[in-house]
Amino acid sequence: MVKLAEWHGKEVFRKYGIALPQGAVARSPGEAEALARSGKVPLPCVVKAQVLAGGRGKGGAVRFANTAAEAREAATAILGLEFKGEKVREVLLEEKLSIAKELYVSFTLDRSLRLPILITSAKGGVEIESVEDAAIDRQPVDPFPGLTAYEKRRVAKSFGLSGPARASLDRLLDNLWKLFQAEDAELVEINPLAVVGDGLVALDAKVIIEDDAAFRHPEYAEVRDDRTPLEEIAREKEIAFVQLDGNIGVIANGAGLTMATLDVLQEFGGRPGVFLDLGGTDDPRKVTEAFLLMAEARPKAVFLNIFGGVTKCDTVAKGLVEAMGKVPPSDRFPLVARIRGNNEKEGVEILREAGIISIPTLRESAQAAVAAAARSP
Ligand code: GDP
Ligand code: MN
Q: Does the beta carbon of 59 sit less than 6 angstroms from any atom of ligand 1?
A: no
Give pLDDT, residue 132.
96
Reported pTM: 0.70
Confidence of residue 357 (pLDDT cuts 50, 70, 90): confident
Determine what percent of the chain is predicted with pLDDT higher than 90: 72
Contacts of 69 (CB under 8 A, 6+ apart): 33
- Catalytic residue at 150? no
224 has a pLDDT exceeding 60: no
Report which bound ligand comes closest to the CA of 78.
1
The strand pairing partners of 110, in sequence order, are 115
Question: Within 10 Å of residue 218's Cβ, how many Cβ atoms?
Answer: 8
Of 110-119, 208-217, 325-334, least confident by mean pLDDT is 325-334
Q: Does the beta carbon of 125 sit less than 6 angstroms from any atom of ligand 1?
A: yes
104 has a pLDDT exceeding 70: yes
Ligand 1 centre from 16 Cα, in Å?
21
Q: Does the beta carbon of 102 sit less than 6 angstroms from any atom of ligand 1?
A: yes
Q: Does the beta carbon of 9 sit less than 6 angstroms from any atom of ligand 1?
A: no
Question: Within 10 Å of residue 253's Cβ, how many Cβ atoms?
Answer: 27
119 has a pLDDT exceeding 90: yes
Give pLDDT, residue 62.
98
**What tens digit of pLDDT does each residue of 279-321 get?**
877 777 888 888 888 888 889 999 999 998 888 889 888 888 8
Q: Does the beta carbon of 223 sit less than 6 angstroms from any atom of ligand 1?
A: no
> What is the SS3 assignment for 165?
helix
CA distance 79 to 122: 32
Give pLDDT, residue 121.
98
B/e letters for 258-281, b = 16+ CB within 10 Å, e = fewer, are beebbebbeeeebebbbbbbbbeb
Helices 229-236 and 284-296, packing angle to 10 deg:
170
Q: Does the beta carbon of 124 sit less than 6 angstroms from any atom of ligand 1?
A: no
Ligand 1 centre from 101 Cα, in Å?
12
* N- to C-terminal Cα separation, the chain: 35
The mean pLDDT value for 341-363 works out to 93
Mutate to test the pocket of ligand 1, among 8, 78, 126 (most ligand atoms within 8 A of CB): 126
Give pLDDT, residue 234.
85
Ligand 1 centre from 56 Cα, in Å?
9
**What tens digit of pLDDT does each residue of 254-281 get?**
889 999 999 999 999 999 999 999 887 7
**What tens digit of pLDDT does each residue of 44-79 get?**
999 999 998 899 999 999 999 999 999 999 999 999
Ligand 1 centre from 9 Cα, in Å?
15
- Catalytic residue at 189? yes
Confidence of residue 226 (pLDDT cuts 50, 70, 90): low
Which of the following is catalytic: 6, 33, 102, 104? 104
Confidence of residue 227 (pLDDT cuts 50, 70, 90): confident
| Bigger pLDDT: 321 vs 187 | 187
Going by their DSSP bridges, the two strands 45-49 and 62-65 should be labelled as antiparallel
CA distance 32 to 27: 8
229 has a pLDDT exceeding 90: no
* Nearest atom within ligand 1 for CA of residue 206: 4
Q: What angle do CA 328, 331, 337 make, to 5 degrees?
A: 105
Give pLDDT, residue 287.
82
